[in-house]
Structure 1
Amino acid sequence: MSDADIISAMRRKAGVGRPPPDVQPMSPAKALRLAMAKAAEDTIGLVLQVLDVTEERSAISRLPGQVPDNALLSLLEGPNNAYGLAVWDKNAVSAIVEQQTTGKVLNLPPEDRPPTATDAVMCSELCNRVLRQFETHVAEVADPPEVAGFHVAAQLREARSIAIAFDDVPYRLYRVSVKLGRGGREGEVFFVFPYAAPKPKTMDEGAGDFSSTFQNVVLKSEARLDTVLHRVRLTLADVTSLTEGMIIPIPREALSRVELRADDRLVSRARLGQINGKRAVRVVLCVEGDEEDLGDDMFGAGDMGGLSGPSDFPALSGMGDMAGAADDLPDLGGLPPLGAMGDFPAMGDLPPLGGGDLPPLGDLPPLGDGEGFPAMGDLPPLE
């Protein structure tokens, strides 16, 4: 018999009757045991022993009924807008708080009360450390569950809030029974994660053209522009004394200071004139701050103190005599009322108003012929 055979026989005899080494492979339950014990010791010096770990598949409808009374509900936020949950029963919460405030877990039974925001803050560091340790250890599993990247985001006040915060998908529930402190206070902790990682939301086909489609829809929307030739300021007494035939003077400079307004906001200024026998306005640049500067200058307050007209027309300053003077008004040639634009007489048919303030419409400055009128793309910017 050779030396090699003798050594091999001795090794076999030495190993007879011995049990195989008790080395269990890594599993989610083992990873959670290690994570909770180490995290409790490292963060707050708490002696925590895991008694049992069970894993089950649960639904969103069942989760609220599995939460113990007066438990701390910590909402966990993960990658791709995934949400999980950490549940600490009142025994676990009281032990964590007592360890941080008194340095040990008391032998007295915990108070039966809802958890406060202070309790949530004092438990958040330990919870985050457990999640990081669990993520590290469970990565050694052949097919690890999707538990990476979760952290404490907020406290849920009631169990019924779970149905609001969580999507209706399957969830992976880890139920952990623990013994806390040297006195051996028993508690229960839940960790809930989505059973499968949520798929990132992708844009629907053709959604990349949303911007251009939206722009096209907006540009085809109807927009209303109002043209304001001039504004006057009158006292309430002057307004209530207006009668048919009175003349409201418009200064000549108003023709070059027409307003284009949309929803009563100044869009641009314009100049009044004619083109091809029709009234028209030419858009001009609206300088920033023009709307704020529409004061007495724009309204022509110097010319608008009252109404004016022919020499025999009474001024508004004598409002007391207006009732009798109205009968003496001169005939203005049968002008139609200033109503709808469709009833407005043709430009060549309007008689001069006199007074020298407003030129005949035939003398309005031309805007140029039809070919010379600028296209929309050639207009100056309104900013």
Structure 2
Amino acid sequence: MAEAAETEILRRMARGDGRPGAPEPALRVLGTAIARAAETELGLPVTLGQLDLGAATLADLPERLEERALMALIEAPDGRLGLAVLSPGLVAAVIEMQTTGRLSAADPAVRRPTRTDAVLCVPWIERVLRETDAMVEEGDGWNEWEAEYRYSSTIDDPRLLALLLDDQRYRIIRAVLTLGSGGAREGTLFLAMPEPAARQTGPGAAHVAATHAAAWEADLQAAVLGGTAEIGAVLARVERPLSEVLALAPGALIRLPSDALARVRVEGKGGRFLSHAKLGQYRGYLALRLSGGEVSSIVAQGDFALARAKAVETEDEEAEDKPAPAGAVAAG
């Protein structure tokens, strides 16, 4: 008796949740649901080898996940989010059955899951959730299962969990699966759902939507601000008869308006007008001082920008004596 009690205590310590183990209804319901989903969606024999039930905080979740696992957010009808995680071995088995119709003799090399992997695995995740819902609704005795969670999206970095999930305790379900009729392959399905008490007091769909919107806005801002924008400075544009344009040669003078240096036109891609500017020098470089009033709606930080373009002096005798192309000539 003493030895049996000690063994049970060690099992509880290993799980870290103080629970005596998975109840018989949970083993029966989830085991049957996973087997049905695998047979229906994949034609793959699957049996439940071990089922662990526990609890964890949001901060603990990343430590519970296998490396390079496929992480999928699952969502309740009211917007509350949970997590479904497929181990690399389980992902490989699902993909093999859908692409070749059979399992290879050994586990393939472990790699990071791709978007294509997620697309192929989502139907099986959905079927497991639906099959479990159906068995619980039929009164199979597992009252702790929270129904109607469905696939929402996939994530590729465990650090995003802190941004997407509510900071509360989660009910943990870890199912170790034997894959294939021979049982040579193994995979793990990991589920995390908010505990019922936390669900009743949680911020709900509005908070989840706001969190998604904030994350999307931050990603968009980082992508946009990290890009490049082309700008050009035009001293002036003048029109001349085609005969004069064809007669242009190195050393020819083109008269510019008297205010050209003080009214330089700053343009974006495609000739879109951005601002006027004054041409000058700054620390040995040609520089443009933008007109603050005109660019206040374009430039958010200050009204002064430097267009560093080192002046290049070209001697007339080294220039090729070629006529300019027909059309308007821009001096700039």
* TM-score computed with the length of structure 2 as normaliser: 0.51
Q: Which residue of 1 aligns with 2:128?
A: 130
Which segment drifts farther, 130-139 or 112-121?
A: 130-139
- Residue 188 of structure 1, CA deviation: 1.1
Which segment drifts farther, 180-189 or 49-58?
A: 180-189
Q: Which residue of 2 aligns with 1:82?
A: 80
1:271-350 matched pairs, under 5 angstroms: none
How has the CA–CA distance of structure 1 residues 167 and 44 changed in structure 2, closer, same or farther, with 3 Å as cutoff? same
Cα distance between partner residues in 2 of 1:167 and 1:126: 26
Q: Is the 8 A contact 1:172 1:194 kept in 2?
A: yes
- Residue 182 of structure 1, CA deviation: 2.7
Cα distance between partner residues in 2 of 1:60 and 1:29: 25
Q: Which residue of 2 aligns with 1:157?
A: 156
- Which of 26, 29, 32 aligns to 2:27? It is 29
**Helix, strand or coil for the counterpart of 2:109?**
coil
What is the alpha-carbon root mean square deviation over aligned residues? 2.3
Is 1:54 matched up with 2:55?
Answer: no
**Helix, strand or coil for the counterpart of 1:61?**
helix
Q: Is the 8 A contact 2:173 2:192 kept in 1?
A: yes
Cα distance between partner residues in 1 of 2:182 and 2:194: 35
Cα distance between partner residues in 1 of 2:140 and 2:55: 19
Cα distance between partner residues in 1 of 2:97 and 2:172: 27
Structure with greater strand percent: 2
Q: Which residue of 1 aligns with 2:116?
A: 118
| Structure exhibiting the larger radius of gyration computed from Cα positions | 1
Q: Is the 8 A contact 1:92 1:188 kept in 2?
A: yes
Sequence identity percentage: 33
Cα distance between partner residues in 2 of 1:143 and 1:51: 19
Q: Which residue of 2 aligns with 1:319?
A: none
* TM-score computed with the length of structure 1 as normaliser: 0.44
Cα distance between partner residues in 2 of 1:138 and 1:160: 33
Q: Which residue of 2 aligns with 1:14?
A: none
Q: Which residue of 2 aligns with 1:188?
A: 188
Q: Is the 8 A contact 1:95 1:105 kept in 2?
A: yes
Q: Is the 8 A contact 1:74 1:155 kept in 2?
A: yes
Q: Which residue of 2 aligns with 1:220?
A: none
**Helix, strand or coil for the counterpart of 2:110?**
coil
Q: Which residue of 2 aligns with 1:278?
A: none
Q: Is the 8 A contact 2:54 2:173 kept in 1?
A: yes
Cα distance between partner residues in 2 of 1:88 and 1:116: 13
How has the CA–CA distance of structure 1 residues 169 and 68 changed in structure 2, closer, same or farther, with 3 Å as cutoff? same
- Residue 26 of structure 1, CA deviation: 6.4
How has the CA–CA distance of structure 1 residues 142 and 99 changed in structure 2, closer, same or farther, with 3 Å as cutoff? closer
How has the CA–CA distance of structure 1 residues 54 and 116 changed in structure 2, closer, same or farther, with 3 Å as cutoff? same
Is 1:100 matched up with 2:98?
Answer: yes
**Helix, strand or coil for the counterpart of 2:59?**
coil
How has the CA–CA distance of structure 1 residues 183 and 26 changed in structure 2, closer, same or farther, with 3 Å as cutoff? closer
Cα distance between partner residues in 1 of 2:182 and 2:141: 37
Q: Which residue of 1 aligns with 2:178?
A: 179
Q: Is the 8 A contact 1:29 1:54 kept in 2?
A: no
**Helix, strand or coil for the counterpart of 1:173?**
strand
- Residue 141 of structure 1, CA deviation: 4.9
The one-letter code of the counterpart of 2:187 is: G
- Residue 29 of structure 1, CA deviation: 2.7
The one-letter code of the counterpart of 1:148 is: A
Cα distance between partner residues in 2 of 1:77 and 1:97: 24
**Helix, strand or coil for the counterpart of 1:70?**
coil
Q: Is the 8 A contact 1:107 1:183 kept in 2?
A: no
Cα distance between partner residues in 1 of 2:155 and 2:60: 17
- Residue 53 of structure 1, CA deviation: 0.8
Superposition misfits of 4+ residues, deviation over 6 angstroms: none
Cα distance between partner residues in 1 of 2:24 and 2:52: 15
Q: Is the 8 A contact 1:90 1:110 kept in 2?
A: no
Aligned residues: 180
How has the CA–CA distance of structure 1 residues 152 and 98 changed in structure 2, closer, same or farther, with 3 Å as cutoff? same
How has the CA–CA distance of structure 1 residues 141 and 182 changed in structure 2, closer, same or farther, with 3 Å as cutoff? closer
